[in-house]
Chains A and B, each alone.
Chain A
Amino acid sequence: MKKKTVGQKRLERIVYTLLAIAIVFRFTQAYMDMKFRHSVEMGQRPVPNFDWRDFDSEKRSFASIKNKVVVLHFWASWCGPCRVEFPAMLRAAKQLGDDVVFLTIAGDETAEPAREFLIKAKNAAGVKPDNMLYGWDPMRTLIFDTFQTTAFPETIIVDEDMMMRRKFMGRVDWEDPEILRYLRSLKKPADTKKDIEDTSTQAPEKQDTAKEKVAEVEKPE
């Protein structure tokens, strides 16, 4: 076998050194990634699992709303912009149908003004959508402590994977076709959903049906 020259040996040494540096560097990086790996990837915002109460103080779980796009809306009856947008939101909910659920949480101190407003708003809108849920958070534990909402109204869009996609601060123009198109776009195609359901290993649990929701909707009245 041909003997290596001094130059070749030197070159080899340099290559090995560089290789060693690269390996050390890569391992350090991998270790750091592992140490600080997040359950949340950048750009993904999982909605925290929370309970909410309706106007009769009945406790409900957000997690029970499954495979739906959710419009999470924080409002109060004394808030001007909330009052303006509510009827339009009701009409939008009706238009969007069963695929999108509107969960509205009122931050009023007392329930009565909020109930009264809801009746008026439904009358003004001329619709009583089945896909709208009405919650009440007088201590603002959900509104403030969990979602850190500091000004009403505020709307958070949650997709079918329970990821928060967008937040609207202030009034939303629910008559704008763009917003309806956006909400529909979050709905996964039926095939994809089926795949997910098939692969799901979770035990089947009782889900809120549209009929149950209708009952809830009627309660405040």
Chain B
Amino acid sequence: MVTLMSELRSAVSSCLHWLAGPRVVFYALPWLLVLLTLGTLSQRYIGLYHSEKLFFGSFILWLGFVPLPGAYATLCFLSAGLTAKLVLKSPMRRRTLGTVITHASVLMLLLGGLVSALTREEGYITIFPQEVVSFVSDYHEREVTVIKDGKEYQVIPYTALQEQDKLPLKDAPFTVNIKQKCYPCTAEPLGEADLGAYGMAAAMELKDAQPGPDDALNRAGAMVEIVGVSKEQAGRYIIFESLAEPPVIKAGGSEYKLLMRAAKRSLPFSVQLIGFEQENHPGTVMAREYRSGIQIKDGELQWKETVSMNQPMRYRGYTIYQSSFVDDGEKKASVLAVVKNAGWVFPYISVTLLSIGLLLHLFMRKAKKQTAVAALAALLFMGAPEAQAQQPPAFDYDAFSHIPLLHEGRIKPMESFARALIKSMSGDKQADNATAMAWLAEVLFNPAAAADRPLFVVRSPVLLSVMGLEKRKTERYSYSELVPALTGQQDNIGRLLEREPKSYSDSERELVRLFEMTGLYSELANSFSLFTPIEGISNPLRAELKLPPEGDLNFYSMLRVRYELGEKFKAIVATKKNNVSSYTPLEQDIAELSYKLDSREAMQRFNALLRVVPGEWSDKEEWLSPWQVIARSEGSPRSAQLFTLWQALQKAWKTRDAHTWKELSGKLQAETTGAHGADAFRLALEVAYHAISPLEKSRLGYGITILLALCAVALQRRWLLTATTAALVITIAIHGAAILARIMILGRPPVGTLYESMLFVSLLAALCGLYLCWKREGAEGALAGSIIGLGVLIFADIFARDGDTLEMLTAVLNTNFWLGTHVICITAGYSFSLITGVMAHFYLFRRAMAMPHEALAEHYKLLQTLALVALFFTTVGTMLGGIWADQSWGRFWGWDPKENGALAIVIWLAWALHGRISGHLRETAFAAVLCFTTIIVALAWVGVNLLSVGLHSYGFSDAAAWGLPMFCITEIVITGILAMLSAQQYKAIEISKARQK
């Protein structure tokens, strides 16, 4: 017995010790990564809710008949391992303190996840102003509700419904037999009308449906048979969600209504909506902020709160946050999400502990202090001339380029506006060799000439042949060529606009884009059409309207006599009707002029592109286009003065009067700068940013640094290393200045969009490379930093969406605090992960080249440190993201693809580090795994946007669709070859050592 006990004890002990070892992590993490990948990819097809249930919310994942461990089982296994490790193998020493705290915090996070999974309730409230609500609708659960004489009588959960059974009604004078139930289901028309059925059931039948990606659109329904009522009512009925006329049964002197709806849960307090506000970026429909004023009533207590994006309200364990709104045409209802989660506090504690733990772990490692060497060389490329020699412009466009205007929700200088439009229309920086400003001036002031300039890019040969245009080497076509061609395609375009853009072929997408771009161009060209002279106003008509006998007349100048003209025309029509032949010449002139003015106004009154006039009368920071000023009667003494200046500027441009042009554009700049957020410094900075193009210079700098670094590595000359360092320092300074300029222009941290995150990641990677170059006195760091810097900047350039890269942010991102913490932290994580990956390539290369053992050992140690730093930033960044999500959406983790992507990097790095500790990953394998970090980062950072699902899908671009697979394949091939060569070399060394022995 004793022996058995001791054997059992020994077995338990060895089992616990096995659990406490790093191999648990080594086996569990890859499987978690597989689940994470499957769960993320499946979201595109079955939606987040079902994907979460299948891959992240189950103990067993069934692959046909084969049971596989689900996410819960894997996490339990990991938790057991972590607990065993903490209890059995975590001595509290100074050196291991960081590891212990890190492991404890991860365990706490898992525990928090468990508490959340058990206690979490989430739902929403759709509430109209002044309405009082004290229940929450569930996102996923459904129920059958019986309303008796207008009052809620009984609620039966959908899950309690049994086919071929009765609906468990209490004290009802009739019976409801459930014939069929389905969720999600669709209603399809019957071939023949069902004479024994009523309402919807008479013409439709219910069928099971595949769950759609958006669970809110999945509908529940049931086919029921009602017996025990009058003959006229007995029969089959359909109870279906969102049914306008649900079945109504009259029995026992009462009226019963049967509803299928989202399950409702009571709140221990009531919420009243006082008001809902939506604030857009000026001049756009892009939301800057949503907020709801609510009143909470809990017994005697009553108080007011404001709930807005990133500012939820917490009360009695519930978090109420702004989710969205519904506009029914008359008034807006606020949609508030309500979450109850007892485990919400765990991530907050855990992230604090984890940061401390990882930092301790990182700094307790033995680090040799080295002095850094800084050397600056001559600027190799600062003065590099522009690639294309430009003709000096006849006009001085300096002041004109600084004139502010409102475009896409932001005050920007004309220079940015023109560049953004040219980029959108032609994909280029210039329009047919004209600078952006010269092109803009021509379009605004001489649209007829500008229309012949080849500007619009058309690449699709199919589209060209359909439009009857010849293929051209430059691929650029003018507005006057395209308009007749597009007119012939009107029917096609109309049909395309009714379809989902996702279903377009390449040529169809290009056709729609051309249609939109030519529309935009037309709006731009007509911005000042109210100043365009109206031809054919005869002298008698001038005299009749008391207009000056000479000089140009335009729509604007005609406004002062618009009423009189209208009255005269009305009088003519009243007496002579539509019989034009009976009109006198003067009457004909009146009719023609009236028609011209009316048609011009009708076409242009909504022209709102060129918003150069600061709105005078609105409290908001609004800028208006000249046409808007007239159409909305927003004129003022200041706008009258601006109109006069613009008219004179147009005249100066047409008469090629360069002196007056300069003077007037300077006046316009001075008159509008300073109004409504048009800050002179920011405008000047933005114009300078475009003129200098620092990111282009940075790309050139990284290219030069790569060449120098390669020479330094190959030739091992000290002066080459100094030159490499100097080139990198200068490049980083330019790159950093570009980002600093963007921060100043936009007034927010530089990581609001995917494009911006690329700029930031490349800079951090280059800085990290510089640090390595300095610390290790070798060019590898500079090489790695420059490769990432150049690669990511090139990708960013391809990736940049049409038009302006200086964009405004959507409401949820409009918070400097979280952009400054979470996003910067996670992008730093991406940078370190990339530099780890590239340095791992170098390690394999050096190993394959049989470099000295000491150098390799040092490099290997560096890889571990870099992987740890990358793990620190990605983990803390991911957890801070979770906290932001908790603050904004009321939940720490939502299995959103971007969140899963960040988690994938964390798991990958943790797996590599634990694999090294457990001995499963030896030098070559460890380095190869780290090489693949670049692929994981690329997929997590850019790849998830290709799924076009989730809350982070704001940066999708077609450019990534082909670039990403190419990158992954190249990386796999390169790493494979390097690992193979490295392994061969290692074997050869081992054999020679054995022989020597």
Residues of A within 8 A of B (CB): 6, 28-29, 32-33, 35-38, 40, 42, 45, 47-48, 76, 78, 109, 139-140, 143-151, 154, 164, 166-167, 169-170
Contact = CB atoms under 8 A, between A and B. Distances in A.
B643 interface: yes
A20 B559 CA distance: 55
A147 B637 contact: yes
27 contacts: A6-B371, A32-B684, A33-B681, A36-B669, A36-B670, A36-B674, A37-B674, A40-B638, A42-B674, A42-B676, A45-B616, A45-B636, A45-B637, A45-B638, A78-B567, A109-B546, A139-B560, A140-B560, A147-B636, A147-B640, A148-B636, A148-B643, A154-B633, A164-B616, A164-B636, A169-B632, A169-B633
Nearest to A46: B637
Given A42-B676, A144-B559, A144-B560, A47 B681 contact: no
A32 B640 CA distance: 26
B563 to A, nearest CB: 7
Interface residues of B, number: 31
Chain B residues touching A, majority SS: helix
Contacts, number: 73
Interface in B659-694: 669-670, 673-676, 680-681, 684
The residue in B546, B560, B564 that gathers the most chain A C-beta atoms within 10 A of its C-beta is B560
B261 to A, nearest CB: 44
Nearest to A37: B674
Contacts of B673: 36
B549 to A, nearest CB: 15
B680 A32 contact: yes
Nearest to B618: A167
Nearest to A10: B372
A74 to B, nearest CB: 11
Given A76-B563, A144-B560, A166-B617, A42 B636 contact: no
Nearest to B402: A36
B639 interface: yes
Given A6-B371, A29-B681, A148-B629, A78 B636 contact: no
Nearest to A152: B563
A146 B640 CA distance: 6
A76 to B, nearest CB: 7
Given A48-B637, A147-B640, A148-B637, 12 more contacts: A35-B680, A36-B669, A36-B670, A36-B680, A47-B637, A109-B546, A139-B546, A140-B560, A150-B633, A151-B633, A167-B616, A169-B634
B635 interface: yes
Contacts of A164: 616, 636-637
Contacts of A147: 635-637, 640
B711 interface: no
Contacts of A37: 674
B639 A148 contact: yes
A146 B458 CA distance: 47
Nearest to A156: B636
Contacts of A28: 681
Contact of B675 (A38, A76, A150, A170): A38
B680 A33 contact: yes
Nearest to A45: B616
Contacts of A148: 629, 635-637, 639-640, 643
A142 B738 CA distance: 49
Interface string B541-562: 0000010000000000001101
A4 to B, nearest CB: 15
Contacts of B674: 36-38, 42
Nearest to B630: A150
A154 B674 CA distance: 27
B666 to A, nearest CB: 11
A146 B637 contact: yes
Contacts of B629: 148
A169 B632 CA distance: 9
Interface in B622-663: 629-630, 632-640, 643
B640 to A, nearest CB: 4
Nearest to A50: B637
Shortest Cβ-Cβ A-B pairs, 6 listed: A148-B635, A148-B640, A32-B680, A36-B680, A36-B673, A32-B681
Contact of A150 (B371, B559, B564): B559
Contacts of A29: 681
Contacts of B669: 36
